[in-house]
Amino acid sequence: MGPQTDSSAGGSERDLVSEMPGARKDQVDVVVIGSGAGGAPVATTLAEAGARVVVLEKGPWYTVGDFSHDEVALCRRDFFRPYPYAGHEPHTIRKKGETKARLTNEGWVGQNVGGGTVHMSGFTYRLQESDFRLASMTGGIAGADIVDWPIALEEMLPFYDLMEARIGVSGQAGINPFEPRLRPFPLPPLRPHPSAKLVDEAAHSLGFHPFPTPRAILSQPYAGRPPCNMCGFCGDYGCENGSKSSVLASLIPRAEQTGRCRILPHSMARRILVDRDDRVQGVEYLDAQGQAQAIRARVVVVAATAIESARLLMLSKNGRFPQGLANRSGLLGKNLTYSTFGKGTGIFDRHKIIERLGKKDMELPFLLRSVQDDYWNEKSGTLLPKGGTYNFLLHHPNPINAGVRIAMDSGWALFGQPLKDRIKEYFHDELWIEFEVFGEFLPNKDSYVDLDPRVIDRYGLPVARMNTHHHPASDDVNRFNTRRGLDILEAMKPTAKSVKAWTWATTTYHLQHGTCRFGKDPETSVLDPFCQAHDVKNLYVTDGSFMPSSGGVPATPTIMANSFRVAHHLAGRFLRREIDASE
């Protein structure tokens, strides 16, 4: 996979790259667009296998020195996600029944090297058999465009194991009876807060099987990185310790060490170039100075998130693909899914908890308990037997978020000194135990991505418009699951009248999938089972776009595992000379 003479644009074919002003003269084997969960595994694997790789990343390249616990700078500014202003980099969104889309920064995952893995919480669950065979197991659901995956769960299991080993995941195998796996976790579980015992007792009393939540956080030294320092600032923050297993900490350094992977931050891909044989030629992008550049490649891997990858393919339309590149099926942007979400909270007297459980370890930040008994529940009586995951955790240490939440809970009656007193009580006298429900978001005809006809970004390009609709069966099962989570909280006997559902059947827009679903039939899918476009040779998509169903867990681990799977396939193609200059 070393340097080769390119002849992919000879004869009567137009050499689109050479026609670009300022185009780079070099050629690489692979250009990867996006450096997060879908991009970093394939870039690292192929570079280690000998390919010359360039990674185009739209955002900046942060280091551990850029991270802090500053809630304003990291959570309430544009550190990870852009401001939702017209002429900047917004998305737009409209829900079913609305005619006008509004500006939003929802749907952005992470504009930076490492993508959303840099500020993720790191819950590392796996999909289950029902996710891969949802159509077969349900017999179909009216109003939902569900299909079985073109691969079996067994094909993904070795790559889940590989993903966990490559990035570093802590957990305890064998205790969750519903988890499919072949090998133990590479690291033991993190130390839990003593209140995990309360969750265990309550869940067991109701017939559930609680288990330690697997986390992409180091519990011990691993691959030259230190263990977690237990600060608790994981979700919404970068790790200044390098202990969270983002691809920035775990994979990007390995890719660089090969000497064959070049990462270009502040590089905005705006068009994928193909020749008249519908074969990839390269990528046109805007560099850090806003100048148009282009680079040749034998393979292009798109991993910019389900929303942004669909947008890029739509922006890459040409005479042969007038509705978007690789879109002869008409399904590009369709079947957009997220994750349905519910949340509940129980408030406990901290001092009574200390009396019961002791003071030792009371300052640990992680509760680390999950329940998946309702992942598939045909006795639920809901419109969909496919449930989800209950993730129990302690409240986030963000002080501003706490103040806003307390004020909102009071109906905005608290302000000034009474609000300060209540915040003090919140941090010193109370223990808030919460759960989150991740559930199936059924694909349907009213949930899709297209280009907004009126709004452009700062590059003058149409922005992605999210068209969103919940299938009633998704909301039905989410309400059931949220109620079940509340049952566990109530069995823990918190302070009187303190159990509350904060939200039911809402949407987590940063968990997104499905806009380029994969399958065996080019008429009913955009990608083949190895995530190569049916219509364009050597064009791959490895973010959540490929997923036909959302699953009942956050998809980041599955996206990474699949990226390793596709990388393994691509490495084999290169070694067999199936991708070379003679194509």
**177-216 pLDDT, tens digit each:** 999 999 999 999 999 999 999 999 999 999 999 999 999 9
Query: Does 582 map to a domain?
Result: no
* Cα torsion 138, 144, 147, 148: sign: negative
Instruction: Give 395's contacts (C-beta < 8 A, 6+ positions apart).
Output: 345, 402, 432, 434
In a domain, 249, yes or no: yes
The CA–CA distances, whole Å, from 391 to 117, 121, 482, 502 equal 19, 12, 11, 15
The pLDDT assigned to 505 comes to 75
| 86 found inside a domain | yes
Nearest CA-CA partner of 144 in 569, 477, 532, 443: 443
For residue 8, pLDDT beyond 60: no
pTM beyond 0.75: the answer is yes
- Predicted confidence at residue 475, as pLDDT, reads 95
Distance of CA 200 to the CA centre of its chain: 28
Q: How far is CA 489 from the centre of its chain?
A: 28
pLDDT in tens, 11-25: 333 444 445 444 444
Residue numbers of the domain that contains 360:
16-101+108-575
In a domain, 167, yes or no: yes
- Domain total for the chain? 1
Band (1; pLDDT cuts 50, 70, 90):
very low
**Would you state the pLDDT for residue 97?**
85
What pLDDT, on a 0 to 100 scale, did the predictor assign at position 4?
Answer: 32
pLDDT over 90 percentage in the chain: 89
Model confidence pLDDT, tens digit, residues 427-466? 999 999 999 999 999 999 999 999 999 999 999 999 999 9
Q: Which residue has the tokens 């690292």?
A: 44
- Residues paired with 371 in a beta bridge: 390
Query: What is the per-residue pLDDT for 165?
Result: 98
Q: Is pLDDT larger for residue 4 or for residue 500?
A: 500
CA–CA gap between residue 181 and residue 285 (Å, rounded): 40
Tokens of 247: 């691809």
Model confidence pLDDT, tens digit, residues 456-515:
999 999 999 999 999 999 999 999 999 999 999 999 988 766 777 677 778 899 999 999
- In CATH, what number is assigned to the domain containing residue 342? 3.50.50.60
Which residues are CB-contacts of 111 (< 8 A; sequence separation ≥ 6)? Answer: 58, 59, 60, 80, 81, 82, 89
Q: What is the pLDDT of residue 20?
A: 46
User: Residue 250's pLDDT is what?
Assistant: 98
Residue in the block written with tokens 């409240």 = 395
225's tokens: 């990185």
Does residue 1 form part of some domain? no
pLDDT tens profile 253-266 = 999 999 999 999 99
State residue 85's pLDDT score.
Answer: 87
Residue among 43, 57, 32, 2 nearest 166 (CA): 43
Q: What is the pLDDT of residues 280-335, one digit of tens each?
A: 999 999 999 999 999 999 999 999 999 999 999 999 999 999 999 999 999 999 99
Mean pLDDT over each residue of the chain, to the nearest integer: 93
Within a domain: 195: yes
- Stronger pLDDT, 138 or 19, i.e. the higher one: 138
Q: pLDDT (tens digit, 9 = 90+) per residue, 28-50? A: 999 999 999 999 999 999 999 99
**pLDDT for the residue 496:** 67
- Whether residue 22 contacts residue 293, with contact meaning beta carbons closer than 8 Å, is answered with yes
Checking DSSP bridges between strand 337-349 and strand 500-513, what pairing results, if any?
antiparallel
| Cα–Cα dist 302/299, whole Å | 10
In the prediction, which pLDDT does 87 show? 81
Query: What's the confidence (pLDDT) of residue 26?
Result: 65
Q: What is the pLDDT of residue 65?
A: 95
User: Is 8 contained in some domain?
Assistant: no
Rounded CA-CA distance 512/351 in Å is 41
9: pLDDT strictly greater than 50? no
Q: How far is CA 105 from the centre of its chain?
A: 16
What CA–CA distance (Å, rounded) separates 402 from 581? 58
Question: E-assigned strands of 190-240?
Answer: none
Q: What is the pLDDT of residues 77-122, one digit of tens each?
A: 999 999 888 788 999 999 988 989 999 999 999 999 999 999 999 9
User: Can you state the angle between helices 556-575 and 153-167, rounded to 10 degrees?
Assistant: 100
CA distance 286 to 266: 8
Residue 47 lies in a domain: yes
